[in-house]
């Protein structure tokens, strides 16, 4: 982080490039179920989201609310508690994510 610069030509560039979120119909999301590394608990994983972290968090919040469960979103993945793959796929399709499997 730069606090002050005396260079008149200095241009502060953002640390990370802004990722443009693809439209829902252009996203290729894959929904799977994982049991490993979760203390024996089952989780439904949504992978393949291309877009900003804020949009990923917003989609995760919608899924968690509609399923009535907890979960998290990070590194382009949405983790939803429980084995609810079919329900997640149907919710994604109603939201316009037609390439979801």
Residue 23 lies in a domain: no
Number of domains the chain is built from: 1
Half-sphere exposure of 41 (CA within 13 A, CB side): 11
Residue 42 lies in a domain: yes
| Angstrom distance (rounded) from CA 52 to CA 84 | 25
| Residue 71 lies in domain | 30-94
**Three-state DSSP class for 91?**
helix
Using left for φ > 0, alpha for ψ between -120 and 50, and beta otherwise, residue 10 falls in beta
Residue 39 lies in a domain: yes
Say if CB 30 and CB 82 are below 8 A apart. no
pTM of the model: 0.76
Per-residue pLDDT tens listing for the chain (101 residues): 556 667 777 776 665 566 678 778 888 899 999 988 778 899 999 999 988 889 999 999 999 999 999 999 988 899 999 999 999 999 999 998 887 77
């Amino acid at each position: 982080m730069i606090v002050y610069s005396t260079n008149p030509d200095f241009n502060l560039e953002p640390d990370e490039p802004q990722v443009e979120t693809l439209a829902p119909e252009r996203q290729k999301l894959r929904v799977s179920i994982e049991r490993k590394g979760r203390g024996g608990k089952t989780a439904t994983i949504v992978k393949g989201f291309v877009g900003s972290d804020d949009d990923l968090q917003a989609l995760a919040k919608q899924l968690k609310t509609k399923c009535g469960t907890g979960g998290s979103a990070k590194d382009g993945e949405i983790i939803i508690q429980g084995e609810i793959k079919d329900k997640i796929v149907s919710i994604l399709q109603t939201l316009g994510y037609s390439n979801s499997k």
